[in-house]
Structure 1
Amino acid sequence: MITRRTFKAMLSALPALGLLGATAFAQDLRDITFVQPSPSAINSFPVFVAIGEGFFEEEGLNVRVEAINGSGAVLQALSAGQAHFGRPGPGPLIAARSRGVDAVHIYNVSARSNFGIAVPVDSDVQSVNGLRGLVIGTGTADGAEVGFARNVMTAAGMVEGQDYTFLTVGDGGPATAAFLNGEIDAYSASTADTAILNQRGMAVRDITPAEFGRFFGNGIATMGETIRNDRELVEAWSRAFARGHAFALDDANREAVLAHLSAGNPQEGEDREFQSALFDAVRSKTVPPEGSPHLGWYPAEVWQEWQDALVAGGEIAAPLDDLGAAWTNEFAEIGYEAVGE
């Protein structure tokens, strides 16, 4: 395999007449589309690091990132063939599979729950039980944060539409406005969303029961057809992505990582102190829990818990015929081997 460093050396050694050949070589990269459920580069940091460090390029891939609205939209893009890889939540993916969408999770990015239910710091609500009869805001109508909050509320013995309601308000500024206007009493938020609310002056605190920390969040998904018919692509993606993830976890690479994230989303990089703090918060959720063999690994028992919660909450009518087909650890293992090289 020709690495990025080798390729650059080749370019510098080429005479002027050979530049056309070099251009042709560069154009041999395969164009790949990755869709993420929000514009944040930090939430998808391994992708932007792998792009910036040339790990995808070394695998022969030119990755284009597109931001769309929520996990439901990510899964629609994948199933429509508009993207090769995406980062949906496990709840929406299970729900999509119940409707016949053959999407498969291949890498557990948010190995620790990256969602929580937050209330204003001065709210009288001290636990999820205090949300009975109240309104919970969400960033999207069908994103992973909705399924997560529904799971939490179901476990507390409450039913959507009877004991509480959801209201889609967006994230960032719109969520802050919804709190200030009294439209919502709580907000189902990702780690990034909570940090942004606090940064915008809307101080909030998390009231999610500790036991929900085991519910991993969004991960990398592709279509089953892609795995079956284009396995080399999935393996190449997995190697580059895992290398980007491992690179970003090493504090020695911090400045390079933040620079790559700024390139991916310049607005997030305008306030370097905030960007750095948000990256720390998001990165911490991607460190596998104790007992996990490597980065990206999925625990089967938590997939079962996710499905049980979706059935209990009425989000799917019945368990999937084959829950194991919704996820695999084989490509995370391939990525782990690449990191060790």
Structure 2
Amino acid sequence: MITRRTFTASLLSAIPATGLLGTAALAQGMRDITFVQPSPSAINSFPVFVAIGEGYFAEEGLNVTVEAINGSGAVLQALSAGQAHFGRPGPGPVIAARSRGVDAVFIYNVAARSNFGVVVRQDSDIQGPEGLRGKVIGTGTADGAEVGFARNVMSGSGMTDGTDYTFLTVGDGGPATAAFLSGEIDAYSASTADAAILNQRGMAVRDITPAEFGRFFGNGIATMGDTIRNDRELVEKFGRAFMRGHAFALDDANRDTVLAHLATGNPQEGEDKEFQSALFDAVRSKTVPADMSNGLGYMPPEVWEEWQASMVAGGEIPGPLDDLSAAFTNEFIADWNKAIGG
């Protein structure tokens, strides 16, 4: 059983008042789609909520419901079980799932720059990964993208999980703060949002991740291989609307509208406007590729190779996949970028 938090995007709320286009006509033939995300944060999945709010999915004939579940592993479970059409897992969990025969495929690179980091308390003596030898690293989930990222960082310093350091699943937000305060953990593998929340809760943290790990892109959009092969039009429509939402949110002229859409998606995040704005800035900055020559959403194949190599070295998978290229596809990216004039 997967515990879910559901955000309903009704047709009426999805279509701007200035462009109803005849609600009754649009309602005919609308297709219900489920998108699963690994945490309740609307900000972390901001292109989806913007695409809902701006009516981009509705224009494609899609009525999208967003459901929050616990971590990338649960996202992939929901996709493989046919309980969702699209999700936002990390690349590491996708590679691990494919090593077990799950035909999940990455189709859009959302966090084009790493949205994870290993953080310690601001007043800690630990200055880098080597300082975590023999220590405990907290994680939000047992099998989420943050776990694979931290393993990569630690293996880069020649350390192995269970031998040179250990992981402890403590949850995020308040539980992570409590784990730091009690001394249960010495560090925490945090997303950009996690780190911001810890700091906002008074648990000042700093990132000790070596700069070279910034190339390891984070969570993106995935679907099942069968969906790409047998329902290609759905993939095209969803990705096109998603990219339009992404591009809209990158334009500062739309900032207030975007934050309003995100508050609709997660009212709790919208209660503190200053914090919501700062967190959005931090998350959004990680979604802009360092190299825009291929537009938004593009996945560098060489970084997939690095992800796989680090997972093999860290013992997360027994060996390289038979065909790593099947784990992702850039085939839709150029056409989607045309939808935003790219």
TM-score grouping bracket, smaller chain normalisation: over 0.9
Q: Whole-Å Cα distance in 1 between the matches of residues 197 and 20 of structure 2?
A: 42
How far residue 331 of structure 1 moved from its aligned partner, in angstroms, is 1.8
Equivalent position of 1:226 in the other structure: 227
2:15 and 2:53 in contact (8 A); partners too: no
Q: Offset at 1:184?
A: 0.3
Matched, 1:312 2:313: yes
Q: 2:50 is aligned with what amino acid?
A: V
3-state secondary structure, aligned to 1:39 = coil
C-alpha change, 1:185 and 1:60, in structure 2 (3 Å) is same
Could you tell me how far 1:9 is from its partner in structure 2? 5.7
Q: What amino acid is the match of 1:315?
A: E
**CA distance in structure 2 between the partners assigned to 1:102 and 1:109 by the alignment:** 20
Q: Flag as ranges the 4+ runs of structure 1 deviating above 2 A.
A: 3-11, 22-25
- Opposite residue 240 of structure 2, the aligned amino acid is R
1:19 match:
none
**Higher Rg of the two aligned structures:** 1
1:245-293 deviations in Å (ceiling 9; x for gaps): 0000000000000000000000000000000000000000000012542
What is the RMSD computed on CA atoms of the aligned residues?
1.6
Residue aligning to 1:272: 273
Trace 1:47-126 onto structure 2 (pairs within 5 A): 47-126=48-127
Q: Which residue number corresponds to residue 134 of structure 2?
A: 133
Question: 2-side partners of 1:179 and 1:42: how far apart?
Answer: 25
Cα distance between partner residues in 1 of 2:178 and 2:21? 54
Contact 1:238 1:334 in 2 (8 A): no
| Partner in structure 2 of residue 154 of structure 1 | 155
Structure-to-structure mapping, 1:102-251, within 5 angstroms:
102-251=103-252
Q: Is the 8 A contact 2:140 2:172 kept in 1?
A: yes
Q: Cα deviation per residue 1:151-194 (whole Å; 9 max; x = unaligned)?
A: 11011011111110000000000000000011100000000000
- CA deviations over 1:2-35 (Å, ceiling 9, x no partner): x967994654xxxxxxxxxx53641421000000
Counterpart secondary structure, 1:243: helix
**Percent pairwise identity:** 78
Q: Aligned pair in 2 of structure 1 residues 69, 291: CA closer, same or farther (>3 Å)?
A: same
Shift in alpha-carbon separation, 1:9–1:312, aligned structure 2, 3 A: closer
**Secondary structure in 2 matching 1:330:** coil
TM-score (norm 1): 0.94
Asked if 1 retains the 8 angstrom alpha-carbon contact of 2:31 and 2:62, the reply is yes
Work out whether residues 242 and 332 of structure 1, in 8 Å CA contact, stay in contact via their aligned partners in 2: no
- Unaligned regions of 5+ residues in structure 2, if any? 1-13
State the SS of the aligned residue for 2:119.
Answer: strand
Q: Does 1:332 align with 2:333?
A: yes
**Are the aligned partners of 2:26 and 2:61 in contact in 1 as well (CA < 8 Å)?**
no
Instruction: Return closer, same or farther for 1:6/1:52 CA change in 2, 3 Å cut-off.
Output: closer
**CA separation of 1:155 and 1:233: change in aligned 2, threshold 3 A:** same
Secondary structure of the corresponding residue to residue 188 of structure 2: strand
Specify the code of the residue in structure 2 equivalent to 1:182: G
Task: Tell me the alpha carbon deviations over residues 277-322 of structure 1, each in whole angstroms, 9 at most, x when there is no partner.
Answer: 0000000000001254200000010000000000000000010011
1:270 is paired with a residue whose SS is: coil
Equivalents in 2 of 1:6, 1:29: separation in Å?
Answer: 18
Structure 1 stretch displaced more, 330-339 or 32-41? 330-339
Compared with structure 1, are the counterparts of its residues 7 and 272 closer, same or farther at alpha carbon in structure 2 (3 Å cutoff)?
closer
Is residue 72–residue 142 contact of structure 1 (8 Å, CA) maintained in 2?
yes
Between the aligned partners of 2:15 and 2:146, the Cα distance in structure 1 is 38
Distance 1:7 1:249, change over 3 A: closer
Alpha-carbon distance between aligned partners in 1 of 2:18 and 2:228, rounded to the nearest angstrom: 29
Q: Give 3-state SS (helix, strand or coil) of 1:245's partner.
A: helix
Aligned match of 2:5: none
Q: Describe the superposition over 1:51-95 as per-residue Cα deviations: whole angstroms up to 9, x where unpaired.
A: 000000000000000000000000000000000000000000000
- List runs of 5+ in structure 1 lacking aligned partners: 12-21
Counterpart AA for 1:197: L
Contact 2:198 2:205 in 1 (8 A): yes
Q: Contact between 1:119 and 1:207, CA under 8 Å: does it hold in 2?
A: yes
1:333 to partner: Cα distance: 1.9
